[in-house]
Amino acid sequence: MQKELPVILVTNDDGIAAPGIRALVEAVKDLGRVIVVAPDSPQSGMGHAITIGHPLRLYRADIFDGIEAWQCSGTPVDCVKLAKDKILHRKADICVSGINHGANNSINVIYSGTMSAAMEAAIEGIPSVGFSSLDYNYNADFTVAKEVARTVTQRMLSAQLLPHTLLNVNIPITTPEDFRGLKICRQAYAKWEEEFDHRLDPRGKDYYWMTGKFLNMDDGTDTDVHALKDGYASVVPVKFDLTDYKVKEWLEKEWE
Amino acid sequence: MQKELPVILVTNDDGIAAPGIRALVEAVKDLGRVIVVAPDSPQSGMGHAITIGHPLRLYRADIFDGIEAWQCSGTPVDCVKLAKDKILHRKADICVSGINHGANNSINVIYSGTMSAAMEAAIEGIPSVGFSSLDYNYNADFTVAKEVARTVTQRMLSAQLLPHTLLNVNIPITTPEDFRGLKICRQAYAKWEEEFDHRLDPRGKDYYWMTGKFLNMDDGTDTDVHALKDGYASVVPVKFDLTDYKVKEWLEKEWE
């Protein structure tokens, strides 16, 4: 009897028409039965948002050769939830998200729709991974990123992983020749320093565009920021138990 | 010389007109100089979303007696970012978010705009806390929740806290007589089991409403779910370094 192919759920936050998700589909399509469920429009910065005040639309969108694909009007997390309940009718064997056009290392994991989609699957007990290229351009070269996505997906499918395993993989801007491989890292402590660009609309009313610069406050050599600077792809295992056990201990002594 | 009053930034995700934020303002208004910056519309379930594809509006909204207040067209996280750059021009001494109409214990911390606003402030180095009542009704009785919010805010202002301290406080539906006090907890492992309600619009096209039920998969007695059932307000310290150090160790052995 033939072994059943693993079901690979593919999603992203840049929208189903982004080159990054096409690169990801190409990278993993012969590793299992690929099903794409992705937002119908760009959803960058949506974090773990879900849609509760509006209904959702879900349409077939067969824009990948021979691959079942759906587009959804909601957020990346909505896509994963809808895929489970209305499309797959079973648990996927792995969820891969991306390849994002832009970095999701360090604190970006919190704001990232790419990573939140993968986290939603991990909460469901599906080993999951988000891939992000540091090149945010529409025409980014995904050669190295595709190779990384394929290698990591293969390793995850063949390893005995804990069901809630979730990886945040970022790929530097580099060539296959200069690429130095994977590096297991921790999340660097960094933040965004926002400066809102204040403008006046044609009726003289104020409005603001969010702009910001990324500030790395962490000089550790074991961080994702450091690995990426050195030409590695960073691999940070991520968890969704946000309890701070150190502060918990302190509070138990002081407050109870 | 008089000691300067602490600056208390108040925000929420139910919107500036929600009874919960009014209750919170009342609870803390004599503990410092209170400034409200909150969304102009309900933003439940927005998680850590930020607005990058649209500009933001920010207006005065002085609906609280004698308190400086602003409403913003963006997400809860946008409010905290705008408050820092365009309103406060200094670091707040504490950020309090809520009181949310509905529970944010356990896995809800991930989806919650209330908690994401507080987390954004904590990333900035401002001790922060989100308050949520298990009563999601518009006319919820906030008597106990206000008392809890006041006590926790006072304690946080007077303690030597680490700057990134972030607390997730949930308040059970109870009376002052039956309320059992604060309990320091860890986040319970739980998830939402979604069932999308499939309907047809007047033109015969499919659409879906997200519905779900909360599944607690965690029978620990040290969890927030357990404490709330016992009539305590749960206090979970939260962190934003999402690195899973256990999985990291395993990967370093197996993958590098």
Q: Which two tokens stand for residue B68?
A: 């400086």
pLDDT of residue B42: 92
Please write the tens of the pLDDT for every residue from A203-244.
999 999 999 899 999 999 999 999 999 999 999 999 999 999
Please write the tens of the pLDDT for every residue from A42-99.
998 899 999 998 999 999 999 999 999 999 999 999 999 999 999 998 899 999 999 9
- Asked if residues A37 and A24 have their Cβ atoms less than 8 Å apart, the reply is no
Query: Cβ–Cβ of A184/B238 closer than 8 Å?
Result: no
Calpha distance B17→B3 (Å, rounded): 32
Put simply, whether A210 touches B (Cβ < 8 Å) is yes
ipTM summary value: 0.93
Please write the tens of the pLDDT for every residue from A96-135.
999 999 999 999 999 999 999 999 999 999 999 999 999 9
Q: Which two tokens stand for residue B110?
A: 């991930």
Average pLDDT over residues A138-145: 97
What is the residue whose two structure tokens read 């997390």? A77
Query: Cβ–Cβ of A206/B78 closer than 8 Å?
Result: no
Query: Cβ–Cβ of B186/A248 closer than 8 Å?
Result: yes
Q: How confident is the model at residue A1 (pLDDT cuts 50, 70, 90)?
A: low
Please write the tens of the pLDDT for every residue from A164-196.
999 999 999 999 999 999 999 999 999 999 899
Residue A160 to residues A29, A43, A181, Cα–Cα distance (Å): 21, 32, 22
Q: Residue A209: helix, strand or coil by DSSP?
A: strand
Query: Cβ–Cβ of A236/B243 closer than 8 Å?
Result: yes
Put simply, whether A226 touches B (Cβ < 8 Å) is no
Please write the tens of the pLDDT for every residue from B68-84.
999 999 999 999 999 99
What is the residue whose two structure tokens read 């587009």? A71
Strands (E), chain B: 7-11, 33-39, 58-60, 68-72, 94-101, 128-133, 166-171, 182-184, 190-200, 206-216, 233-237
CB atoms within 10 A of CB A215: 13
For residue A54, the chain B residue with the least C-alpha distance is B209
Residues of B in contact with A75 (CB under 8 A): 49
Buried b (16+ CB within 10 A) or exposed e, B215-250: ebebeeeebbbbbbeeebbbbbbbbbbbbbeebbeb
pLDDT of residue B2: 59
Domains, chain B, ranges and CATH? 7-188+220-255 (3.40.1210.10)
Out of B85, B208, B244, closest to residue A194 by CB = B85
pLDDT of residue B1: 52
Mutate to test the interface with A, among B50, B100, B148, B153 (most CBs of A within 10 A): B50
Q: What are phi and psi of A144, to 5 degrees?
A: -70, -40
Out of A44, A57, A196, closest to residue B207 by CB = A57
Indicate the helix (H) or strand (E) that contains A177: none
- Asked if residues B33 and B7 have their Cβ atoms less than 8 Å apart, the reply is yes
Query: Which regions of chain B are under pLDDT 50?
Result: none
One-letter identity of residue A102: G
Query: Cβ–Cβ of A196/B82 closer than 8 Å?
Result: yes
- Asked if residues A14 and A20 have their Cβ atoms less than 8 Å apart, the reply is yes
Q: Which two tokens stand for residue B225?
A: 């779910």
pLDDT of residue B161: 83
Calpha distance A155→A181 (Å, rounded): 14
Give how far A84 is from chain B: nearest CA, Å: 9
Mutate to test the interface with B, among A155, A210, A211 (most CBs of B within 10 A): A210
Put simply, whether A114 touches B (Cβ < 8 Å) is no
Calpha distance B201→A57 (Å, rounded): 11
Residue A132 neighbours by CB under 8 Å, 6+ apart? A98, A99, A100, A102, A103, A104, A105, A112, A114, A115, A168, A169, A170, A171
> Is it the case that residue A2 has pLDDT exceeding 70?
no
Mutate to test the interface with B, among A244, A252, A255 (most CBs of B within 10 A): A244
One-letter identity of residue B229: K
Calpha distance B101→B109 (Å, rounded): 14
Indicate the helix (H) or strand (E) that contains B21: helix B19-28
Put simply, whether A251 touches B (Cβ < 8 Å) is yes
Q: Residue A5: helix, strand or coil by DSSP?
A: coil
Put simply, whether A238 touches B (Cβ < 8 Å) is yes
Residues of B in contact with A226 (CB under 8 A): none
Query: Cβ–Cβ of B244/A238 closer than 8 Å?
Result: yes
Average pLDDT taken over every residue of chain A: 95
Mutate to test the interface with B, among A50, A197, A199 (most CBs of B within 10 A): A50
Out of A187, A210, A248, closest to residue B52 by CB = A210
